Structure 1
Amino acid sequence: MLDDATIAAIAGELAEADRTHAVIPRITARHPDATIEDSYAIQGVWRDQNIAAGRRLVGRKIGLTSKAMQEATGISEPDYGVMFDDTVYRSGAEIPVSNFSNVRVEVELAFVLKHPLEGPECTLDDALAAIDYAVPALEVLNSHIELEGRTIVDTISDNAAYGAMVLGDVHKRPDEIDLRWVPGLLYRNGEITETGVAAGVLDHPARGVAWLANKFAHHGARLEAGEIILAGSFTRPMWVSRGDDVLCDYGPMGRITCRFV
């Protein structure tokens, strides 16, 4: 495992890359023995420094929960990161490309919790009981580590490549809709690029919420009421550039639009 000084130094590199919208060399190229525990430690130092600087944590993102994303990244294990209030947009927003090192978009569902959720034996039914409502969401990926050859250690260290989130306007309780069959039709400048259904995420998108609660239990933590949980993509990531208009059609859960400027 990496020592505390190395962990702090890498967290500092990532913070500077975030500030300057740069990309740093792979952690695993420089520290091939780094472990998943090291990567979450790096993420934790970065997170705590941001909270100390005044940013407000509003939720968690789960990544790599679908076969589409695992095949797109070559990584077969889910991961998680944190989301701050200044990274949340509403449908119709104009999003500055200059805020990111690189920009890709994924199709997801987000869940807002009405009750705390605690593992280590949390089930899908437990997660559904704790969820207040589901809302369609686009995740904006932003990698501060070079993409070529990345491993799960690199991705987790970089806050699971989270950049921002765009939330839709339609809220549905879990008992109002079959969440497995929520569709996603993703368009860039009027051209369809990706399609999928929410069951692509672990056979039920809320299953990732239970997975995360169980992961947190190993660290003596839990998911809290009011947190937004971004459950993972059921499409491959779509690259976007300045000037691109993005639309995602979620069928009965409405549409999300945004423009990158």
Structure 2
Amino acid sequence: MTLTPDQITQLATAYDEAEHTRQVVRAPSVQHPGFSMDDAYKVQSAWVDQRLARGERIVGHKIGLTSRAMQLAVGIDTPDYGVLTDAMVIDDGAVIAPDRFIFPRFEVELGFKLKSGLSGPDVTIFDVLDATEWVIPAIEVIDCRAHLSDPETGTPLNVMDSIADNAANAGIIWGGTPVRPDDIDLRMVPGILYRNGKIEETGVSAGVLGHPANGLVWLTRQLHALGTSLEAGEFVLSGSFTRPVAGEPGDTIQCDFGTLGQITCSIGKDA
């Protein structure tokens, strides 16, 4: 189906209010049977517009559901993407306020800092590597502003709901050691994710479509179909190569990327 502009705005506003009040809402797909991927990206775009209207600034994009581990974790078989703004950036080592997120989960990723733009339907992995200035370890904080399972029907979230929810993005932490894209084998970067000193997840960057740069190939082609592109200076999260690990107040989250260093954050305790 195709939603009206008013319906698109209402859904975007509901997500925005849910994020600020930490009160989840019903997913668009249960409110609007036939809710399509086109509808979902329109809702996402409308929500981003609301963020920009209050002063946030776009710093890049995130790619989600690129690894088999993540697709199995959520029962989805296609990648998606969302938009990153400066308000989502969290410092390495930060203590995250316990009331900032609803149900925060943490993912292991590599981020690509672009020195030149990427566009067109025929972009290749070589184009991505040539356009990349730095690759840096990252943790993405994901959250869900809608019910995982609808309280009235029991219907679970689907990929369209995730897309509308800005691909579940909530925060981004980067740290460790930035490297040039040709300085290391980007397929073989390890990720060991700890919670309170206990290993919860492990993975290797090849889990992202065989090579994390392939995530940017996919995204560039998707954006081209919508008449847009990736711009020079953007930071792009290429996708998680582990399943998400949930965090609760009082938890410390750490990710070890081997020779690329570590990223750490913690969630403050409830008052």
Q: TM-score, normalised by structure 1?
A: 0.98
1:159 aligns with 2:177: no
Gaps of 5+ in 1: none
Give the drift of 1:156: 0.3
Gaps of 5+ in 2: 150-155
Q: Aligned equivalents of 2:195 and 2:216: distance in 1? A: 29
Contact kept? 1:97, 1:103, Cα under 8 Å: no
1:47 aligns with 2:48: yes
1:224 aligned counterpart, secondary structure: coil
Structure 1 consecutive aligned stretches of length 4 or more whose deviation exceeds 2 Å: none
Aligned residue runs from structure 1 range 204-219, under 5 A: 204-219=211-226
Given residue 169 of structure 1, which amino acid in structure 2 is its aligned partner?
G
Aligned mate of 1:181, from 183, 188, 199: 188
Given residue 19 of structure 2, which amino acid in structure 1 is its aligned partner?
D
Given residue 85 of structure 1, which amino acid in structure 2 is its aligned partner?
D
Paired position in structure 2 for 1:111 = 112
Moved more, 170-179 or 85-94: 85-94
1:77 aligns with 2:69: no
Paired position in structure 1 for 2:90 = 89
Given residue 165 of structure 1, which amino acid in structure 2 is its aligned partner?
I
Q: TM-score, normalised by structure 2?
A: 0.95
Given residue 90 of structure 1, which amino acid in structure 2 is its aligned partner?
D
Q: Aligned equivalents of 1:12 and 1:88: distance in 2? A: 22
Q: Aligned equivalents of 2:144 and 2:262: distance in 1? A: 26
Q: Aligned equivalents of 1:90 and 1:173: distance in 2? A: 22
Paired position in structure 1 for 2:152 = none
Report how many residues are paired. 261
1:137 aligned counterpart, secondary structure: strand
* % identity of equivalent residues: 47
2:191 aligned counterpart, secondary structure: strand
Given residue 116 of structure 1, which amino acid in structure 2 is its aligned partner?
G
CA RMSD of aligned residues (A): 0.8
Paired position in structure 1 for 2:153 = none
Given residue 80 of structure 2, which amino acid in structure 1 is its aligned partner?
D
Contact kept? 1:118, 1:217, Cα under 8 Å: yes
Paired position in structure 2 for 1:38 = 39
- Residue-by-residue CA offset, 1:83-135 (whole Å, 9 max, x unaligned): 11121123211111311111100000001000011121111111111010100
Q: Aligned equivalents of 1:62 and 1:259: distance in 2? A: 24
- Residue-by-residue CA offset, 1:190-217 (whole Å, 9 max, x unaligned): 1001000000000000111111111111
Q: Aligned equivalents of 1:27 and 1:207: distance in 2? A: 30
Q: Aligned equivalents of 1:121 and 1:214: distance in 2? A: 7
